[in-house]
């Protein structure tokens, strides 16, 4: 039997073109919004804004955005501090407004009804300052998650309240709530708090209760818990007008794309993780369906190979890889191909340091990775990592490194640009500390400007374009977290 060999091109692979860009976003999210419904949340603040209405508007905006970006995510809404109750455990002062499910039009219309009429919330669900065990709320959330097939989901509970101590100093209620929160964390559920300050002069003190069940950027919890970049979305505190941006901009916990050793120098190697912080969002490929009776089913494609001589189907064992040489096909095994393509082992190796000002904007020909230490590979990685980061940031240096992301890929020259921690005015972390790993181009990848003639009299055209350019400008700079599709956003601003 003769086989049809597949010719393999060695050394031409572009590693960044073939990794699965959807891998980072393949996990779905299951989010429960737990909203405080006490009387203070239903009364206008000093700006005339009603906290619960602003909360519902923020959630509505978030779920509308998820329809475009993550349509398979599931969302549920629970009101607590109500006079009515609606839950399987028959717990008082807890009302399940919307069960965990996919986002659809009826659920959004229900939110619209409540947003347009705050009295409807008071009449349907009531509002009460009565004390109840906070662990009951966590128990209801836990039961909802347990009854959902959530094995492949990122599970998250978001608590929105202006009450800094829902236990009102009750030691027993506090103890049971903390234990219930730990049980949820052990099962892989994140608990996040958005603490609302009722006025600029007020102060929301998380140390009264919430610091024991959620993680803040200045938490005194264990170092492992505080520094685990890929596991936590840190809770935050702010005024009501900040809530909209906080809910809209918080995103999926970053999942590491790779874990590699980072060789800083001889006999000094630490562990790092790499993250894709921003990727271009593209329109998904269309799917094909066929009608079978009354049902419509998706078409699934299957690729099979036939022998040119016998016309029989071939198994993967029958198919070999070959390279034409001297008029013949030289057959290679998978192991042979792997050895030929392997130049260096996967890792990041420091070659030297240069001034950061030498890094030009046009050198960034591909999206960068964000680098953060990984203590699980080498003990003490975080200490060495941040010593290097702080020193480079202080001296305004960048590191030039050899980067091999995985086996069978060609090494790339990269620049490590230090990024310091960035906080807002309330001390909430905006940007984490770490390195931006920028893949540097080779000389032939930077094209020269083609010959052209410069326009002499262009002022009239420039004046005509100024209003259009002004419309296209995003005030405050472009924040990729806020706009999943900037082309769609800018198109809406264009004058017609």
pTM above 0.85, yes or no: no
pLDDT in tens, the chain (496 residues): 333 333 344 444 444 433 443 344 456 788 999 999 999 899 888 778 888 998 998 898 888 877 766 778 889 999 999 999 999 888 999 999 999 988 888 899 999 999 999 899 999 999 998 889 999 999 999 999 888 876 678 888 999 998 888 988 889 999 999 999 999 988 888 898 888 877 667 777 888 888 888 866 544 444 443 444 444 455 677 776 677 666 665 655 556 788 999 999 988 999 999 988 776 666 667 778 887 776 777 788 888 888 888 888 888 888 888 888 888 888 888 888 877 777 788 999 999 999 999 998 888 888 889 999 988 888 889 999 999 999 999 999 999 999 998 877 888 999 999 999 887 776 667 788 999 999 999 888 877 778 877 777 778 888 888 988 888 777 766 666 666 565 555 555 555 4
Closest by CA position to 472, among listed 458, 454, 496, 489 = 489
- Give the span between the Cα atoms of 109 and 35, in whole angstroms: 18
- The dotted CATH code for 256-280+344-445 is 2.40.290.10
* Measured distance CA(208)–CA(190) in Å, rounded: 20
327 Ramachandran zone, left/alpha/beta (phi>0; psi -120 to 50)? left
CA distance 455 to 462: 11
List the domain boundaries for the chain: 29-249, 256-280+344-445, 289-340
Please give the sequence-ordered ranges of beta strands (E in DSSP) within 227-364, or none if there are none. Answer: 236-239, 256-265, 268-275, 289-292, 295-298, 305-306, 313-314, 321-325, 328-332, 347-355
Burial grade of 247 (CB within 10 A; 0-12, 13-18, 19 or more)? buried
For domain 29-249, the CATH superfamily is von Willebrand factor, type A domain (3.40.50.410)
**Calpha distance 115→176 (Å, rounded):** 34
The candidate with the shortest Cα–Cα distance to 355, out of 415, 398, 401, is 398
The dotted CATH code for 289-340 is 4.10.970
Spatial separation of the C-alpha atoms in residues 23 and 67, rounded to whole Å = 19
Burial of 372 (0-12, 13-18, 19+ CB in 10 A): buried
């Amino acid at each position: 039997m003769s086989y049809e060999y597949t010719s393999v091109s060695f050394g031409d692979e572009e590693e960044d073109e073939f990794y699965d860009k959807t891998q980072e976003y393949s996990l779905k999210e299951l989010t429960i919004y737990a909203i405080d419904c006490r009387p203070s949340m239903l009364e206008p603040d000093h700006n005339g804004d009603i906290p619960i209405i602003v909360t519902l508007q923020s959630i509505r905006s978030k779920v509308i955005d998820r329809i475009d970006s993550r349509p398979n995510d599931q969302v549920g809404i629970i009101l607590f501090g109500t006079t009515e109750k609606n839950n399987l455990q028959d717990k008082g002062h807890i009302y399940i407004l919307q069960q965990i499910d996919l986002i659809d039009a009826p659920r959004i219309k229900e939110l619209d009804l409540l947003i347009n009429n705050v009295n409807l919330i008071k009449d349907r669900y009531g509002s009460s300052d009565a004390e109840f065990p906070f662990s009951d709320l966590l128990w209801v959330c836990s039961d909802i998650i347990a009854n959902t097939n959530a094995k492949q989901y990122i599970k998250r509970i978001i608590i929105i309240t202006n009450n800094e101590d829902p236990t009102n100093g009750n030691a027993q209620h506090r103890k049971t709530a903390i234990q219930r929160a730990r049980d949820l964390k052990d099962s892989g559920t994140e608990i996040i708090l958005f603490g609302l300050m009722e006025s600029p002069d007020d102060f929301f003190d998380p140390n009264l209760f919430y610091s024991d069940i959620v993680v803040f950027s200045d938490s005194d919890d264990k170092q492992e818990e505080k520094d685990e970049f890929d596991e936590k979305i840190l809770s935050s505190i702010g005024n009501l007008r900040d809530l909209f941006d906080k809910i809209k901009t918080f995103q999926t916990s970053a999942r590491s794309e790779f874990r590699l050793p980072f060789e800083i120098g001889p006999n000094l190697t630490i562990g790092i993780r790499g993250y894709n912080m921003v990727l271009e969002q593209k329109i998904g490929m269309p799917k094909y369906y066929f009608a079978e009776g009354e049902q419509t089913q998706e078409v699934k494609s299957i690729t099979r190979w036939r022998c040119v001589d016998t016309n029989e189907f071939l198994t993967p064992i029958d198919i070999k890889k070959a390279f034409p040489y001297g008029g013949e096909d030289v057959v290679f095994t998978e192991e042979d191909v792997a050895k030929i393509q392997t130049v260096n082992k996967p890792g990041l190796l420091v070659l030297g340091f240069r001034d950061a000002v030498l890094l030009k904007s046009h050198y960034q020909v591909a999206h960068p990775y964000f680098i953060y230490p990984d203590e699980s590979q080498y003990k003490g990685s975080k200490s060495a990592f941040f010593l290097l980061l702080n020193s480079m940031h202080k001296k305004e240096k960048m590191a030039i490194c050899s980067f091999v992301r995985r086996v069978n890929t060609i090494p790339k020259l990269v620049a490590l640009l230090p990024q310091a921690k960035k906080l807002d005015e309330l001390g909430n972390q905006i940007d984490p500390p770490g390195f931006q790993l920028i893949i540097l181009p080779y000389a032939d990848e930077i094209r020269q400007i083609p010959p052209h003639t410069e326009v002499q009299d262009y002022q009239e055209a420039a004046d005509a374009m100024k209003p259009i350019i002004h419309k296209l400008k995003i005030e405050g700079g472009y924040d990729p977290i806020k706009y999943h599709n900037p082309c769609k956003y800018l198109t809406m601003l264009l004058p017609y």
